[in-house]
Amino acid sequence: MAESLTAKRDKVVGIVKAYGPLLPVTIAKKLELSITFASAILSELVDNKSLMLTSVKLGGSPFYYVQGQEDKLQNLMKYLNQKDMETAELLRKEKILRDRDLDNLKRFGLRQMKDFAVPVKVTVNNETDLFWKWYLSTDEDVNTLIGKYLEMKFPEVESREEAKIPEMQVKADDAEKAKEEQTKLGQIYEQELKKEIKTQVKPEIKTEVKTEIKAETEKPKEEKIKIKEEKIKEGKIKESYDPIGNFFIDNQVDVLDWKIIKKNKEMNYVAGINTDLGKGVFFLKYKNKGKINEADLSIIW
């Protein structure tokens, strides 16, 4: 006799209670369900509040958990990008961070990590100040910490449901201003992440490289390559040395490593590329020629 849909729902909840937080693919595998069917059940269970899902994602999929498993969410911090993970660790250590005291990267990151950062508005003399609290911190801890921070009697801590981050405030002009700030922070965040990745590969392209050619040897001549240190600015790959650098930037391809085989003619790359299954790491090869042949393709393998 076919198992009822209600029984399947109960099994899904039971699996999450026992092992959560879990990815949908793990739940489907444990219950021997198709990922499509399991996802439909999970969506329904989230709608009726039987399950909750995270803002942290792995391969584009959130994790599912039940009430009471909130302390386990901090184990998912490892799936944040490096910058956000550092910000989350700082918040966990300090328990409270004041928004206006942070740099743009941290401010933007805190607005995205909804699993770990809870916005708290504090009103002093009719002026509202935004703080972020570690999601496991108690209201009592928050009152004490912010009170000490402001060096005055703590005036008011709004509940999590009432605390709104700037872009969700009621006034239209405030909302518009906050929206512009959020967009600006997002742009700065993306630029800084790209700069960070490019800076990581800088040592390999900053060093002077020169291939010596000796007349007495029978080896094929290799092209001399000399990259002058002063011509490469920190965190930036110049198109004169990377003929398709702008293509990568325009298509949001993160270059993790690269090597010049022949200047302006042949390059090898290791790059992070967004796919339907999340970000993957790929080997890419560039050759400046009109057509490729089987010999060119065989080099990749």
DSSP the chain: -PPPHHHHHHHHHHHHHHH-SB-HHHHHHHHT--HHHHHHHHHHHHHTTSSEEEEEEETTEEEEE-TT-GGGGGGGGGGS-HHHHHHHHHHHHHSEEEGGGS-HHHHHHHHH-TTTEEEEEEEETTEEEEEEEETT--HHHHHHHHHHHHTS-------TTT---GGG-SSHHHHHHHHHHHHHHHHHHHHHHHHHHHHHHHHHHHS-------TTS-SPP-------GGGS-TT---TTT-TTHHHHHHTT-EEEEEEEEETTTEEEEEEEEEETTEEEEEEEEEE-SS---HHHHHHH-
Contacts of 259 (CB under 8 A, 6+ apart): 204, 267, 268, 269
pLDDT computed for residue 123 by the predictor: 83
Whole-prediction pTM: 0.53
pLDDT tens, residue by residue, 254-294: 777 777 888 778 888 878 787 766 667 777 888 888 777 76
Q: Quick one: tokens of 42?
A: 């999970």
81: CB partners within 8 A, 6+ apart: 193
pLDDT at position 224: 41
DSSP string covering 158-219, please?
A: --TTT---GGG-SSHHHHHHHHHHHHHHHHHHHHHHHHHHHHHHHHHHHS-------TTS-S
Helix orientation angle between 35-47 and 5-19, rounded to the nearest 10 degrees? 80
pLDDT of residue 11: 94
Q: For residues 186 and 104, is the Cβ–Cβ distance under 8 A?
A: no
The predicted structure's pLDDT at residue 264: 75
Spans in the chain with pLDDT lower than 70: 1-2, 151-243, 245, 276-279, 294-301
Query: How far is Cα 240 from Cα 174, in angstroms, rounded to an integer?
Result: 45
Picking from 149, 183, 178, the residue whose alpha carbon sits closest to that of residue 164 is 178
CATH class of segment(s) 5-75: mainly alpha
pLDDT digits (tens, 9 = 90+) for 203-225: 444 444 444 434 444 444 444 44
Phi, psi of 252 (to 5 degrees): 55, 45
**Location of each CATH 1.10.10.10 domain in the chain:** 5-75
Tokens of 133: 């609290």
Residue 245 CA: distances (Å) to CA of 119, 191, 257:
39, 15, 12
